[in-house]
Amino acid sequence: MIQVQNLTKTYGATRALENVNFQVCPGEVLGFLGPNGAGKSTTMKIITGFISPSAGTVKVGDLDVVDNSFEIRQKLGYLAETNPLYTDMKVHEYLRFVAAARHIPSSERSNAIKAMVQVCGLFAVVGKSIDALSKGFRQRVGLAQAMIHNPDILILDEPTSGLDPNQIVEIRDLIRSIGKEKTIILSTHILPEVAATCSRVVIINNGTIVAQGTPDELMRGSSREVVYIKIKGDRGIIRQTLSEYHALGAIKQYAPEGRDIHAFAVEIKEGDGRELLFKAAVSNKWTLIEMYRKSENLEDVFRRLTTKENGV
């Protein structure tokens, strides 16, 4: 179990994290989601013991990351955002170097390297120099170095950033299969990433946690629903009339279509908004051209929580 409690980090005048709290249970693949500059890398560097917090604690099991940094590094594997690799080494040389740095006994190093070549799909490149590898293979080598000492926990900072769509799918599949045996925290600002790989999501914005739960819970928890309608009638009267219904929230006009057909996105606060809107159209003798209902998806939730622009 990883417990992040009241974590705060300032870099000079910049407050990168403010009172961040979340937990990761054993076996979970946690998606750590947030726009650029939200504080994802800072949190991960603190969890892995690379930088220390300004306030608050991180515990891995019973161990505090500041007081027990050596023990915790044995249990953790870390793929940093920049994936620093010694590019003039061949893949097998680099993995041997990492195995030694990780204090894997010399008699076990060859087996550890073989296992990583297998798990991370490195057969084709094991004899190649790292600077000759594609970004996708470099990420695989980065994953291999993070896992070579068989840690229980993997901290992966934007593992698919900069990859092409095929490489993204490959790395995603790899992480998913590794996730069956390990606890993983994976940061990303890419939404499909989270839906495809993670069992739970923490959303961070401006250094504070703004939501957490399973992807389903986040979508259900929002319970925001919008009905899109196109109506033929007087725009001002339609808007005025709809604004008087308590069950309806924000009304936003979008893409006008022709002179007297008006398109609105209407936020529904309670009940089935479609019925209400249909009856409103009938009783006001407006012609209802089109109507459909849409619940918030994960992307809508993310955008609403991490941008100033509001919902609808």
Question: Between residue 66 and residue 85, which ones bind Mg ion under the rule CB under 5 A?
Answer: 81
Q: Residue 11 binds which entry of Mg ion, ligand ADP, none, with Cβ cut-offs from 5 to 8 Å by kind?
A: ligand ADP
Of 6, 11, 131, 181, the one binding ligand ADP by CB under 6 A: 11
CA distance 273 to 139: 48
Stretch that binds ligand ADP, among 9-17, 170-178, 223-231, 232-240 (CB under 6 A): 9-17
> Under the criterion CB under 6 A, does residue 254 sit at the interface with ligand ADP?
no
Q: How far is the CB of 212 from ligand ADP (least distance, A)?
A: 16
Identify any residues that bridge with 7 across adjacent strands, giving them in sequence order: 20
Element (H or E) spanning 280, and its range?
Answer: helix 273-283
Token reading at 163 = 């990859």
Element (H or E) spanning 191, and its range?
Answer: helix 191-197
Residue 30 CA from chain centroid, whole number: 8
> Under the criterion CB under 6 A, does residue 222 sit at the interface with ligand ADP?
no
Of 2, 24, 29, 40, the one binding ligand ADP by CB under 6 A: 40
Stretch that binds ligand ADP, among 31-39, 129-137, 195-203, 273-281 (CB under 6 A): 31-39
Q: How far is the CB of 204 from ligand ADP (least distance, A)?
A: 7
> Under the criterion CB under 6 A, does residue 306 sit at the interface with ligand ADP?
no
- Sheet with 183-188, strands from edge to edge, namely 76-79, 153-157, 183-188, 29-33, 200-205, 208-213
CA distance 238 to 68: 65
Residues found near ligand ADP in the complex (CB under 6 A): 11, 14, 16, 34, 36-42
